Structure 1
Amino acid sequence: MEHRINIQGMSCGGCTAAVERTIVAVQGVEKVAVSLADQAAQVVFDPAVTTLATIEAAIEAAGYDVVR
């Protein structure tokens, strides 16, 4: 399943790298691309292994805001 997650709080390349590492660490995530310009992440994950809510919770635990 592919989904775009809008994220607030990223201000530099280090932030995008941190968000990407956070998302990739979630079991079931297959691919992620984080864009500072778009303030978003494009995530491909296996819905049989994880949920969008779990991925969003990981982003928020890392200190960033998910825009729903």
Structure 2
Amino acid sequence: MVAIENLIVEGMSCGGCSGKLKRALEALDGVSEADVVLEGGKVSVQYDPAVVQASKFAEVVEETGFELVS
């Protein structure tokens, strides 16, 4: 089963930032794809909820140096 979690993230200022967050999210077991759009801070994560909890995404966002808005 695949679920999708949509997030709004602040603090990304360049393509390097969005790429860093994308790589960090996709490194999580259970995440099949992370789509990070720099403009507007929109992040969409496709994942298997049997493997990873959506709450883990907030930890990754903060550990990567950004702020989760929603």
Aligned to 1:18: 20
Q: In structure 1, what is the Cα distance between the partners aligned to 2:61 and 2:49?
A: 17
* CA-based RMSD: 0.8
What secondary structure is seen at the aligned counterpart in 2 of 1:17? helix
Number of residues of Structure 1 aligned to a counterpart in Structure 2: 68
The one-letter amino acid paired with 1:23 is L
Give the CA deviation at 1:32. 1.1
| TM-score, with structure 1 as normaliser | 0.94
- Structure 2 residue matching 1:44: 3-state secondary structure: strand
Which residue identity is paired with 1:47? P
Q: Which portions of structure 1, spanning 4 or more consecutive aligned residues, are displaced by more than 2 angstroms? A: none
Matched, 1:8 2:10: yes
Structure 1 CA distance for aligned equivalents of residues 68 and 26 of structure 2: 16
Instruction: Report the TM-score, using the length of structure 2 for normalisation.
Output: 0.91
Identity over the aligned pairs, expressed in percent? 31
Q: Residue 51 of structure 1 aligns with which residue?
A: 53
- How far, CA to CA, are the matches of 1:27 and 1:58 in structure 2? 12
Give ranges in structure 2 of 5+ residues lacking alignment. Answer: none
Distance 1:55 1:26 in 2: 9
